[in-house]
Every structure is written in structure tokens, then in C-alpha cells.
Amino acid sequence: MHHKYLHNEHITMKNFILSFTILLTACTLMTSCGDNEEEAVTLQGEWLMREQTIKTSDSNFDNMLNTVFSLDLKENQTTRAFTELNVKTTIRKKGSSGSDGLISESTDTYEAKGDSIFIQSSLHGGTAASKYLITPNTLTTYRKVTSQDIRNIVTIMGVDPATIPNDLTGELKIKEIR
């Protein structure tokens, strides 16, 4: 009787191993034989800013500036249109079109390398480097900023740049959608 029990257990184990092997093979085939014709996600196209936040070592300043960013997003629409070589950034009052309500517009050259975007700024000079994450419908950039970078940003929003401490640095996060 003991020998029969071991024999049945051996058959059950063989069935388990066989079933597991078939399942593993099926899973491998399903994942490796997927649609290989997916389009590569690209920066090219128009992106609409939905979120802009900053994080520095001064939480009071962060709260103040993030409130200004939030109000700016409610009143204004910022878009970035990427072509192969250039990015056109347009800031305008919401609900306006054409030259009506235009606050700022610039066309800059850029280069994407790996997980970074390098934009040559025509407004402020120099090159702004940002790390980025991209999906088909979302672009999120992370940029290390100096006090001068922060002054440049807040000046466009009507904040007195003299209120920015000289030693303030941080990270600016911008989230955009297609």
C-alpha cells in the first residue's frame, strides 16, 4: 500500500511539472509574440502644461511659489510644440487666440539625449537641461534650478525677482499632456 501511495504521488508530481511547463511556455509565447509594430514615443507634437511645482530647501518659499504656479495654470495656458529641431513655447491667457492674450512666445533649439532634454533658451540665454519621462500622452520633466533660474521663471509670472534668496536651489517638475 505504501508503494502505491508513492507511485500516485509521483504521477501527480509529473502532472504538475508537465502542466507548469505548458503554462510557462504559453506565457512566454504570449509575451514574446506581441505586436512589435508599436510606435516609438516621441517628443514631437504639442504638449499642454498641467502641473508645475518646485521643491527647495525652504518649504515656506515652496508653498508660496507653488501657489503662484497653480494660479498661473488656472489663468494661463502654456504649450510647448516640439518639431525635430525646435521647441516653440507659448504662454497666453486662457480663452484667447491669435495675438490676443499672448503673454510670451519663444522658439528654441533642443536636443534629446537618453533621458535628458537640452533646450537652448533664447529668452534667458544658456542651456536648460532636464531629465524627462515620456509616455504616449504625458511628458514629465525634472530640472535642477538655481536662484537665477527661479528669478527668470517668477518674473514672467509677475513676482518680484528680488524676493528670491541668492542661495536658493531646487528641482522644478513640469507635467504636460498631449
19 has pLDDT over 70: no
| Tens-digit pLDDT profile for residues 85-120 | 999 999 999 988 777 889 889 999 999 999 999 999
CATH of 45-177, one of 3.30.470, 2.60.40, 3.30.70, 2.40.128: 2.40.128
**Which of 99, 73, 85, 84 has the alpha carbon at shortest distance from 177?**
73
Rounded to whole angstroms, the Cα distance separating 34 from 57 reads: 46
| Tens-digit pLDDT profile for residues 135-170 | 999 999 999 999 998 888 888 778 899 988 899 999
**Confidence label for 14 from pLDDT (cuts 50, 70 and 90):** low
DSSP 133-149: EE-SSEEEEEEEE-HHH
Prediction pTM value: 0.72
Cell numbers 498661473: residue: 72
**Which of 50, 47, 66 has the alpha carbon at shortest distance from 117?**
47
Would you list the domain boundaries of the chain? 1-38, 45-177
51 with 87: CB under 8 angstroms? no
20-21-27-33 Cα dihedral, nearest 10 degrees: -170
Strands (E), the chain: 45-56, 76-82, 86-93, 102-113, 116-120, 127-134, 138-145, 170-177
37 burial type by CB count under 10 A (0-12 exposed, 13-18 middle, 19+ buried): exposed
What is the distance between the terminal CA atoms of the chain, rounded to a whole angstrom? 71
